[in-house]
Amino acid sequence: MTAGVKSIPRHNGELSAQPVSLVAPGLVPTSNSTVSRRTMIATLVTAMVPVAGTSVVPTKMVETEASQQPPEPPLVVDTDLVAENPELLALGVQLEEMFASYQAAAARLCEARISAAKHWPARPPAAIVVATAQQRRAFAGCFEQACGFDGERLYRSAAGPDGKVYEDALQLNLLRSDRLRERLADLRGFPEEWEGNKQAWLDEQIDLQARLGAAERYEAACEYAMEISGIAAARKWVQDLAQGLHLKLFDIRQYVPRTMGGLLIFARAVAAYDEAQANSQSGGERAGGLILGSELAEAVLRIAGTRR
């Protein structure tokens, strides 16, 4: 018999040569002649994985025959002794309800955007587009950069020196009907300034009147798209809920999670706002998740047992 190996009786009375150091109490030998290292490690890891909120003492490895000494029972800790803060759990419920409302609002906003895009004018009339330096001087104070139905600034294509057309190269500046209306009223109110050049005065009125009509029709079409889609109300709803999720992070931050359940509430809050922050009132990245970032990391390490 090989040194360092003991004979362990099988159930049928035969002998099986197995290294004693690899046989844990309570482990039934497999049909193979020896226990593999992978089997041993898997058994030990399974025995040593702690349950969330509890501590488990693994069974000691005993270098004796399994039939001579029963396995040592594990130490069981009452999980009721480690309970999560009920106020944190209540915040978790509120968070889920708020996030569900946010998702419904975000879906409604998506529908509103599709409707607004469908009814939004394809392009503004050329009469109200301010494209050249001469037009910018002539209509100074009467135009501004156009915005889309989602509040985004609009741009227009332009030809480069190489002859190629580049999309969204320049600002899309449009004449505003309210400002054109004021200019037309000023023009008609001071005819004496055009003394001796009445025809030019009339031509200027005709040009302004035509541009004013084009601006009014374009703006009316945009307003119709906004109204029929309900995008303004949908955006306000989703922004308010996104802001509420942001504020909820500060409420959750006041508590220290004790269990895996509390830890998941922290993680859920970070993930929820990460999805919602694009629709927050200020838009874009607000680093909202960082409000709980360090607390979440500390809680993970503490519950994992690597930090007190």
Q: What is the pLDDT along the chain (308 residues), one digit of tens a residue?
A: 444 444 444 444 443 444 333 333 433 444 444 444 344 334 433 433 444 444 444 444 444 444 455 554 443 333 444 588 999 999 999 999 999 999 999 999 999 999 999 999 989 999 999 999 999 999 999 999 999 999 899 999 988 888 898 998 999 999 999 999 999 999 998 888 888 888 999 999 999 999 999 999 999 999 999 999 999 999 999 999 998 998 888 898 888 888 888 888 888 888 888 888 887 765 544 555 566 666 676 777 666 665 54
Angle, alpha carbons 137-139-143 (nearest 5°): 115
Pairing of strands 155-159, 165-171: antiparallel
pLDDT at 68: 54
3-state SS string for 72-120 = CCCCCCCHHHCCCCHHHHHHHHHHHHHHHHHHHHHHHHHHHHHHHHHHC
pTM score: 0.63
- Residues 8, 14, 18, 24, CA torsion sign: negative
pLDDT at 269: 87
pLDDT at 282: 52
End-to-end Cα, the chain, rounded Å = 50
In sequence order, what are the beta bridge partners of 8?
Answer: 16
Q: Which amino acid is at 98?
A: M
Taking phi over 0 as left and psi of -120 to 50 as alpha, with beta for the rest, 151 belongs to left
DSSP 251-281: HHHTS---SHHHHHHHHHHHHHHHHHGGGST
In sequence order, what are the beta bridge partners of 159?
Answer: 165
Gap between the Cα atoms of 102 and 161, Å rounded: 48
- Neighbour-count burial of 282, counting CB atoms closer than 10 A to its CB (0-12 exposed, 13-18 middle, 19+ buried): exposed
Extents of the domains making up the chain: 5-80, 82-115+233-304, 120-230
